[in-house]
Chains A and B, each alone.
Chain A
Amino acid sequence: MGLEVDQASLSVDYKLLHFMDQLEDLEKKREKLNTLIEEGWFSISKARYSMGNKQVSTLQYASEMVPLVRVHTKMLDSGEAEFETQREELQVGGGHKGSTVEDIGPQEEGTPSSEGLRRRGHKKQSELKQEESSRHQKEVSQRTTTDHNEHQDPLKWFGILVPQNLKQAQSAFKQVIELSAEIAALQSAVLASRIELQGLMKEKQKSTTTGETEE
């Protein structure tokens, strides 16, 4: 019976040490998260100072928002939850805007001269209609491509040329997001360990009480 109690005590000790390590890890990550958030706020404040008080507020939020970060969750058999972030890569130049401007530019240049020639040459009405419909189709296709590619860098909500501070704030908050997924996983691990430890303690207590009654 004494052996059983020793075994139970050992497993409780081992689990308790593991639990303490987890708590320590959680505290360290929390500290890092708090400093990163503080850095982010400081950068936002500096950006607000240089851009103007109302230039960095809720008023600038876009009317269409698509998440650039998603978190993959998984429940493990131990009762812990896993969280893993996945970031969608933005195209260089902030998404679709740059490409459409480049596409439209040369076409706009070409159209007035061709229209002028068309008027001089007295083209038939049917040909004119065909050209117009094809141009309309091109416009529609451009619009649909922009609809598909709706990922926009949130920095653009606050202007095209934003101060460096706002970019620094963005990178700080990107790190905070990564860290918060890690903390969420750790929190769930801490709670799972706690339940396991409670079970072990109850088992140990049972074995000690039965041992005492037998004696």
Chain B
Amino acid sequence: MAGRGKLIAVIGDEDTCTGFLLGGIGELNKNRKPNFLVVEKDTSITEIEETFKSFLSRNDIGIILINQFVAEMIRHAIDAHMQSIPAVLEIPSKEHPYDASKDSILRRAKGMFSAEDFR
């Protein structure tokens, strides 16, 4: 495989981030910018949205993993992202199980059976 691969970024609660960092995805680049965001009780939605958008604009990130409850907070930003790379994956969190009906991708896939598609 030629060239350096891309990174996997995470936005989630402490345990989710710790787990993925244990798995070896963590990076602090030359500007000391991490590829993860630990969402705590006092983390603002603006901060989450800005971090998500900064991950989208970075071309060294291939996949963004995000807890579904965090994704719910910035749903408009996730729905607006239409490109395949970076891919956005919604994952469950400790207190919020995964709900397929909330997933942006599955909702988009489901939408193909609506009347809109025949126009």
| A residues with CB within 8 A of B | 23, 26-27, 30, 33-34, 37-38, 40-41, 44-45, 56-58, 61-73, 75, 79-81, 83-88, 154-155, 166, 169-170, 172-174, 176-177, 180-181, 183-184, 187-188, 190-191, 194, 197-198, 201-202, 205
Contacts and interface: CB of A to CB of B under 8 A. Distances in A.
Given A66-B27, A69-B24, 10 more contacts: A34-B98, A69-B23, A73-B5, A80-B84, A83-B63, A154-B21, A174-B24, A180-B65, A191-B105, A201-B118
B51 interface: no
19 contacts: A30-B98, A37-B16, A44-B18, A65-B34, A67-B8, A67-B27, A68-B24, A68-B25, A71-B5, A71-B7, A83-B63, A154-B21, A154-B22, A174-B24, A180-B8, A183-B89, A190-B109, A191-B84, A194-B112
Contacts of B19: 37, 40-41, 44, 169, 172-173, 176
A86 B24 CA distance: 11
Contact of B84 (A81, A173, A176): A81
Interface string B1-38: 10111111000001111111111111110000011001
Contacts of B4: 70
A173 B15 contact: no
Contacts of A188: 84, 87
Contacts of B41: none
Which of B7, B18, B22 neighbours the largest number of chain A CB atoms within 10 Å of its CB?
B22
Interface size class of B (residues with CB under 8 A): 35 or more
Contact of A67 (B25, B108, B112): B25
B29 to A, nearest CB: 9
Interface of B: 1, 3-8, 14-28, 34-35, 38, 62-63, 65, 84-85, 87, 89, 91-92, 94, 97-98, 100, 105-106, 108-109, 112, 117-118
B87 A83 contact: yes
Contacts of B20: 173, 176-177
Contacts of A169: 19, 22
A103 B84 CA distance: 49
B22 A67 contact: no
A44 B105 CA distance: 29
Contacts of B97: 34
Given A70-B6, A194-B109, A37 B91 contact: yes
Contacts of B35: 67
